[in-house]
């Protein structure tokens, strides 16, 4: 609107135009502020990812130095084997996290080593994946023109088998449409192990306490010796894949008002020194009368009470624990201390055992 048009407007019209201009300016200001907030959020996200990438890259370099450097030669054979399989798992986990943080490359690295084919003497089990419909959208019947086959290594204790995932290619002769079933989801993308084999390795290592070098020997007896470095890489990748489940389980546990907490020492081998260090597994579980039966373990390199504070965060409820001083700082933040009946009963039993040799501790509650 030019000056001549403004001169022809009445006072009310000028007032209305002014209000519209003010509203338009205010809207532009709001949009500008929203864009600035969005830019700030993106900048923080980029900074966080960049810092995380730098941190993981530094850790990766350290692990590679420990894994392949001369320092590992100071350990005896048994210690070195345990350290190497742990480092292999950590290396794979860090590389998996870096892969998730970094943008996906447009082209694959052609220098990647080719995977050795699975032995032909292992029994094969075909798993077919075909489209839900073999009728084209134009109404013509599709014709099968080929297939893609991906082999996955499976394991039933004592016996290896190979799953051949066969995805048929169906094409329409009229409209040249090609249809194929999607690739089934795998725990490790483009990896050879099935979920069953990975579960076997993880359960054997963490539930049955079988180190990877022993599993390597066991698999060798079954007909295929899988190197411990490969097994370690699988363990690390599974750890990254299972982390969302651990986070969800922790969140579900922290929804309960009553929690039990305890810590137990574990020996941790310190890289480069050849000595063990006392680390701790902190266990958290809902109360005995809660409907949920689950335990979350939190590994820490010490028994400092800060680890319990970091895990529980803003949680405020009744914590059943022993009289360890590390939990006392939580009480000042609003956590209610609930004494452990087993620990209390133990002291009464000890007292009566000392003062009354004929006393039977089983009479106490």
pLDDT at res. 44: 82
d(CA 131, CA 150): 17
Listed residues 191, 207, 227: the one ending a domain: 191
Do residue 212 and residue 173 come from a single domain?
no
DSSP symbol at 361: G
pLDDT in tens, 258-282: 999 999 998 887 766 667 889 999 9
Neighbouring-strand partners of residue 179: 170
pLDDT in tens, 221-246: 998 989 999 999 999 999 999 999 99
Do residue 172 and residue 46 come from a single domain?
no
CA-only gyration radius of the chain, Å: 31
d(CA 216, CA 229): 10
Do residue 98 and residue 219 come from a single domain?
yes
Q: 85 pLDDT exceeds 80? A: no
pLDDT in tens, 115-160: 778 888 888 999 999 988 888 888 888 888 899 998 999 988 889 9
Give the global pTM: 0.62
pLDDT at res. 161: 93
Do residue 267 and residue 220 come from a single domain?
no
Do residue 125 and residue 73 come from a single domain?
no
Question: Could you tell me if residue 359 is inside a domain?
Answer: no
Provide the mean pLDDT of the chain.
82
Question: Could you tell me if residue 67 is inside a domain?
Answer: yes
Do residue 224 and residue 275 come from a single domain?
no
Question: Could you tell me if residue 111 is inside a domain?
Answer: no
Do residue 182 and residue 218 come from a single domain?
no
Do residue 199 and residue 326 come from a single domain?
no
Do residue 94 and residue 153 come from a single domain?
no
Left, alpha or beta for 190 (phi > 0: left; psi -120 to 50: alpha)?
Answer: left
3-state class of 186 per DSSP? coil
**Furthest-apart CA pair in the chain: how many Å?**
114
- Residues listed for the chain: 365
Question: Could you tell me if residue 3 is inside a domain?
Answer: no
pLDDT in tens, 54-71: 777 776 676 666 566 554
Do residue 179 and residue 280 come from a single domain?
no
Question: Could you tell me if residue 5 is inside a domain?
Answer: no
Q: Which domain holds residue 97?
A: 30-102+195-243
Do residue 214 and residue 171 come from a single domain?
no
Q: What are phi and psi of 243, to 5 degrees?
A: -60, -45
3-state class of 139 per DSSP? coil
Left, alpha or beta for 31 (phi > 0: left; psi -120 to 50: alpha)?
Answer: alpha
Do residue 96 and residue 204 come from a single domain?
yes
Domain count along the chain: 3
Q: 72 pLDDT exceeds 50? A: no
Question: Could you tell me if residue 84 is inside a domain?
Answer: yes
Closest CA to 283 of 305, 303, 299: 299
Name the H helices within the chain.
3-7, 11-68, 77-101, 195-206, 212-221, 228-253, 306-312, 328-331, 341-355
d(CA 102, CA 107): 14
């Amino acid at each position: 609107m030019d000056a001549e048009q403004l001169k022809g407007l009445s006072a009310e019209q000028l007032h209305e135009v002014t209000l519209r201009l003010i509203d338009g300016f205010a809207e532009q200001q709001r949009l500008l502020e929203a864009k600035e907030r969005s830019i700030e959020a993106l900048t923080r996200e980029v900074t966080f990812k960049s810092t995380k990438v730098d941190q993981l890259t530094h850790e990766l370099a350290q692990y590679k130095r420990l894994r392949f450097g001369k320092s590992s030669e100071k350990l005896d054979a048994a210690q070195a084997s345990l350290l190497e399989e742990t480092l292999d798992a950590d290396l794979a986990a860090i590389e998996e996290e870096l892969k998730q943080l970094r943008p996906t490359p447009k082209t694959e690295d052609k220098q990647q080593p080719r995977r050795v084919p699975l032995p032909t003497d292992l029994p094969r089990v075909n798993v077919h994946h075909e489209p839900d419909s073999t009728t084209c959208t134009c109404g013509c019947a599709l014709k099968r023109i080929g297939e893609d086959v991906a082999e996955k290594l499976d394991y039933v204790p004592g016996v290896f088998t190979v799953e051949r995932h066969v995805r048929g290619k169906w094409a329409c002769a009229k409209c040249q449409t090609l249809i194929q079933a999607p690739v089934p989801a795998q725990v490790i993308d483009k990896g050879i192990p099935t979920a069953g084999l990975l579960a076997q390795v993880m359960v054997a290592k963490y539930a049955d306490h079988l180190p990877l070098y022993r599993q390597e020997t066991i698999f060798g007896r079954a007909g295929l010796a899988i190197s411990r470095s490969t097994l370690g890489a699988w363990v690390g990748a599974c750890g990254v894949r299972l982390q969302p489940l651990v986070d969800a389980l922790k969140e579900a546990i922290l929804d309960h008002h009553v929690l039990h907490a305890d810590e137990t020492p574990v020996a941790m081998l310190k890289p480069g020194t050849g000595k063990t260090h006392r680390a701790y597994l902190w266990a958290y579980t809902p109360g005995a009368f809660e409907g949920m039966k689950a335990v979350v373990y939190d590994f820490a390199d010490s028994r400092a009470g800060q680890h319990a504070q970091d895990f529980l965060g803003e949680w405020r409820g009744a914590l059943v624990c022993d009289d360890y001083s590390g939990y006392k700082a939580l009480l000042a933040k609003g956590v209610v201390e609930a004494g452990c009946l087993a620990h209390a009963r133990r002291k009464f039993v000890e007292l009566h055992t000392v003062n009354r040799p004929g006393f039977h501790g089983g009479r106490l509650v």
